[in-house]
Each structure stands twice: as C-alpha cells, then as structure tokens.
Structure 1
Amino acid sequence: MPFEDEANIIASLLFCSTPKLEILLTRNYSFDKIKSMTGMSIKGLHNRLINYLHHILGLNNSETLEIVLKLRDNDYKTTIQIKHLVNNKNNQLRKHKTILIKVSRGFVIDQNACISFLKNLSMIELINELEYAHSTKNSILERMVMKEYYHKQ
C-alpha cells in the first residue's frame, strides 16, 4: 500500500507539475476544469491539491481538506482564496531569492559579495567593470557599479 501511494504521488506530479498547477490555480480554474486540462482522475487531483496545499503552501491538514472539498464543490470564493495563497507564496519567494551576479573576473557572487568586491575597486577598475557589465548586458551589475562609482566621487 505505501508503494502504491508513492506511485500515485509521483504520477500526479507527472500529470501536473507544481508550476503548471500554480498557473491553473491562479487563473481561477474550477476543480473540473483543472481535472480535464490535466487528464487526472478526481482522486488523483484531489490528492495532488492536498499535497500541494499542505507541503508547498504549509497549510494544516484540516484547512487543506476543507479548501480542497470546497474547490471540488465549485465554490468560487475558494478559487479566489487559493489564487491569493499561491500568489503570496510566489511573492515571498521572489523577495527572498538570492541574486547571483557574474563579475568581470569570472566569479559568480551574490549581491552582498558584489558590493564588497566593487568597494575594493579603484575608479579605473570600476570603469572597466562598468564596460564589462554593459557589454554583457548585465543590468544589475551595471546599476551596482554606477552606484558605487557615484558613491566614491
């Protein structure tokens, strides 16, 4: 039985990946519409939504079950609620995402390390770094170099 449950979970992920599920949920699609678009069974989609809401969004078991049952009953307020939950999760991820920046010396570093790197450059080295950023269309590095350049003046 545990192997069958595990196989069902893997199958549900193959039918409907997390990014695909999030797109469908943020478009206010009903349970039936998602089911038909993914080709999943009622039970398969039910379990996929339970797993997503509990493991990805972090909702507790009772709240998760309540939301999935309401979605299955085509409760429009629930589709809006799920859309907001998904959007909030994605917004939180964007806020905490580490931005990596490639500098002229070939290193790929995070923003804080890049700021330290730029502070240690001379004005001529900053100009060279700016040329590198511009030629590689690295707008993040370009803005950071300009900020440091003006700060040093």
Structure 2
Amino acid sequence: MAVATTVSGILAAVNGALGLITKGVATHDESVIEKATQTLVDEIRELNVATLQTSEDNVRLIKSVATLEHDLKAANEEIAKLKAKKRELSRYELTPITEGPVVYRLKSAYADKEPIHYRCPKCVNADKTGYLQPVRVKSAQYLVCADCEFEYFAGFLPPPDYSKLIALMAR
C-alpha cells in the first residue's frame, strides 16, 4: 500500500511538472521550463527508486513463498508418513511377555494374511521392522530382535515330554 501511495504521489508530481513545462513553453519562460524539467527528472528518479524497491520486495516475497511451499511439502510428507505408521501400528497391540517387557503383537484379526508375530517396540519407534525371533537357551525362551538384537525374556519352557518316545521304545 505504501508503494502505491508513493507511486501515486510521484505520478501526480510528474503531471504537475509537465503542466509547468507546458506553461513555460507557452509563455517562453526559460527559468520555468528549466525548473519544471529538473522537477520532472527528480520525480522520475524517485519513481525508478520506488520501482526498484518494489522489485526487490517482490523477489523477497517470491523467495518467502518458495520457502513456505517447500516447508508445506515437507510437513505434508511427514503427515503422510505418520498416518502410514499409525495405520501400520493399528494392526498391532502392545502385549506383555512374562511379567516385564511389552512388545507389539499382530492382532488376531490380521492373522489371515500373515502369521501372528511380535515386534520390538524400540525398533518400531525408530521406524525399523524389529521382528522378534524366538530363541531357546536351555529351558529359557527369548524373543530376539532381528534389528537391534535386544533379547526379551519370554519365560521358561516346560521340560520335554518323553512319554511318547518311551512308549515307542517299549514296544
């Protein structure tokens, strides 16, 4: 708005100077013509400065808009990523194993498409798959993360049942 006011004022002054030049020519007064010409030159110079300032302002605004568009695109990509993660995590429920840690477990409703499995919460939060693999060490059962190699204690296994083997050997 300030630039438009400045330009309007300069154009009014230019019109006034042109009027004085016309009057000076009509009366053949060289001093009026010279003074009006100098005023006209000064006003045109101010108009050029105002135009340059407006151009610089426009360049700054264009850069600001480009930055805002870039930031908006990045924010939209982040939102899409978070929505996809939320959709993926909605297929899981946090389930305690033994008395301590909790892990993500695939909900039964999704078990028709893939087997029920467990995922490491630390890795899931770090955007890794974090599938937990069962590992047996003597009579203890662990779930080990394939990504971070953290071991979740899953409890003790009952001793093996040898009754079928004994019955088979007794025949």
| TM-score tier (shorter) | under 0.3
* Structure number with larger C-alpha Rg: 2
Q: With structure 1 as the length reference, what TM-score do the two structures score? A: 0.26
Query: Larger RCO: Structure 1 or Structure 2 (Cα < 8 Å, ≥ 6 residues apart)?
Result: 1
Q: With structure 2 as the length reference, what TM-score do the two structures score? A: 0.24
More strand by share: 2
